[in-house]
Structure 1
Amino acid sequence: MDEPVALELIARAADETARLAASLARQRDGIVEASEFTSNDDEHDPEGVTIAFERAQVQALLRQAEDDLADLDRAAGRVRAGTYETCERCGGPIAEERLAALPATRICIGCANKAR
């Protein structure tokens, strides 16, 4: 995969992930704002536990999206360094199809299967 194609692939994945992160941040902010108008007694409020769980779930998804963005940024760095298609575990090639499906991946399919 040549550098411009790889960087475009990564940029598209980063744009999609950034949109997801922005949406999750808005959702989290909405949950926090809505919880300001409810009882602060989660233990006795039948909705309290649900709100706390929902807030934690959205926060975890947001954190994962932010981690994914960082991984994509590192992948762009590997493209520029010429190591994008090289597995970090075995040093072998990473198939273009795998990179197209998972632009931030750092390992080949063989190493990914061994991890299971």
Structure 2
Amino acid sequence: MSQLSLADVVAALEAERADATAQVRDLDRAVAGVVEASRDSNADDEHDPEGATIAFERAQAMAVRDRQRARLREVDAALERVADGTFGRCEKCGCEIASGRLLVRPTSHTCVTCADVKR
């Protein structure tokens, strides 16, 4: 990690964690708002002209929220790797992860070679 200092990585991860946490909080509110709005409408989504829209909005907000929660788990896992000294090492082969990859995606837990094999 010659181009990359551990302090910079931790700062970037903590900023990403704060952003993901705020987005999850906002999306939780959005989902709750859609659910609350649907209480005033017909419960039969299939026959209610607005039902499909409400169901779609709810599903969309929940999907985005779930992606942000997954992002939060990735960030937390990366911070754990920093704490236990394994950050920057590939979980598959044990080789060092290129600093360029970590600059772009600090939550990376595999090297490029092992990530390509996974695909």
C-alpha deviation, 1:86, in angstroms: 0.4
Query: Which amino acid counterpart does residue 99 of structure 2 have in structure 1?
Result: E
Once residues 100 and 27 of structure 2 are traced to their aligned partners in structure 1, the CA distance between those partners, rounded to angstroms, is 29
Superposition deviation, residue 53 in structure 1: 2.1
Which blocks of at least 5 consecutive residues in structure 1 are unaligned? none
Amino acid at match of 1:112: A
Q: 1:34 aligns with which of 19, 32, 37?
A: 37
Displacement of 1:67 in angstroms is 2.1
Q: Where does 1:33-112 land on structure 2 (aligned, <5 Å)?
A: 33-112=36-115
Question: Structure 2 regions of 5+ residues with no counterpart?
Answer: none
Aligned runs of 1:6-25 on 2, under 5 Å? 6-25=9-28
Q: Post-superposition shift, 1:50?
A: 2.1
CA distance in structure 2 between the aligned counterparts of 1:26 and 1:35, rounded to whole angstroms: 14
For residues 98 and 64 of structure 2, the distance between their equivalents in structure 1, rounded to whole angstroms, comes to 28
Give CA deviations for 1:62-91 in whole Å, capped at 9, x if unaligned: 122112212211111101211110011111
Amino acid at match of 2:8: V
Q: Which runs of 4+ in 1 moved over 4 A?
A: none
TM-score for both structures, normalised by structure 1: 0.89
1:114 shift after superposition: 1.9
Q: How many residues align?
A: 116
**Cα shift readout 1:31-52 (whole Å, capped 9, x = no counterpart):** 1121111111111112212211
